[in-house]
């Protein structure tokens, strides 16, 4: 049983035609109904999101209804149902960071990337997501760009980070 997705819809996507083998994932996480969360995380780890058309296969494999699988995906905001952008920017919106300028920083980031939280830029370059504590409160405000955690981020520092990660970053204004 496999799930194929067709990339993030952008012609230059390097993620086109990624195929995952659900049987392989199930062999590692199990096929009981309580395997749903680890299975969904494994799918998202591989594809960047959980394709809606994978729901019937997942439900069948774990002996759940489609509604049960869909309900879990929609309840937990960690799960995406659409392909993310090339770089995922996560901005901490929890208390410590809020107290140290995260509100202003978030406004700057949204303006700089031209998107709001939960959105992906039109060119597929960035997805902006909120998080609620990154465990880096001593260095608030904190963000994660890709796999990299950054602390004490100012608007200027954010611009430097974005400009450094890819040519797309330099284009984002």
Q: Which residues bind ligand FES (CB under 6 A)?
A: 92, 94-97, 133-134, 136-137, 140, 142
Minimum separation from the CB atom of position 63 to ligand FES (A): 39
Phi-psi bin for 82: left (phi > 0), alpha (psi -120 to 50), beta? beta
Minimum distance from CB of 27 to ligand FES (Å)?
36
Residue (120 or 136) nearer to ligand FES, CB: 136
What element of type H or E holds 59? helix 55-62
Nearer to ligand FES, 8 or 136 (CB): 136
Strands (E), the chain: 2-5, 18-21, 87-92, 126-131, 143-145, 148-150
Q: Which is nearer to ligand FES, 83 or 141 (CB)?
A: 141
CB of 117 to ligand FES, least distance (A): 15
Place of tokens 């994660």: 144
């Amino acid at each position: 049983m496999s799930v194929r997705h067709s990339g993030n819809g952008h012609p230059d996507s390097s993620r086109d035609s990624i195929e995952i083998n659900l049987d392989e994932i199930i062999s590692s996480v199990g096929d009981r109904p309580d395997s749903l969360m680890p299975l969904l995380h494994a799918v998202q780890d591989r594809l960047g999101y959980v394709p809606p058309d994978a729901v019937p296969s997942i439900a069948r494999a774990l002996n759940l209804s489609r509604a049960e699988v869909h309900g879990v995906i929609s309840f937990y905001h960690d799960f995406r149902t659409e392909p993310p952008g090339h770089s995922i920017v996560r901005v901490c919106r929890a208390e410590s960071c809020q107290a140290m300028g995260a509100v202003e920083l978030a406004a700057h980031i949204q303006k700089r990337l031209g998107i709001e939280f939960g959105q992906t830029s039109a060119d597929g370059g960035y997805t902006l997501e909120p998080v609620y504590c990154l465990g880096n409160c001593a260095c608030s405000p904190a963000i994660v760009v890709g796999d990299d955690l950054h602390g004490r981020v100012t608007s200027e520092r954010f611009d430097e980070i974005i400009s450094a990660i890819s040519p797309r970053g330099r284009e984002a204004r």
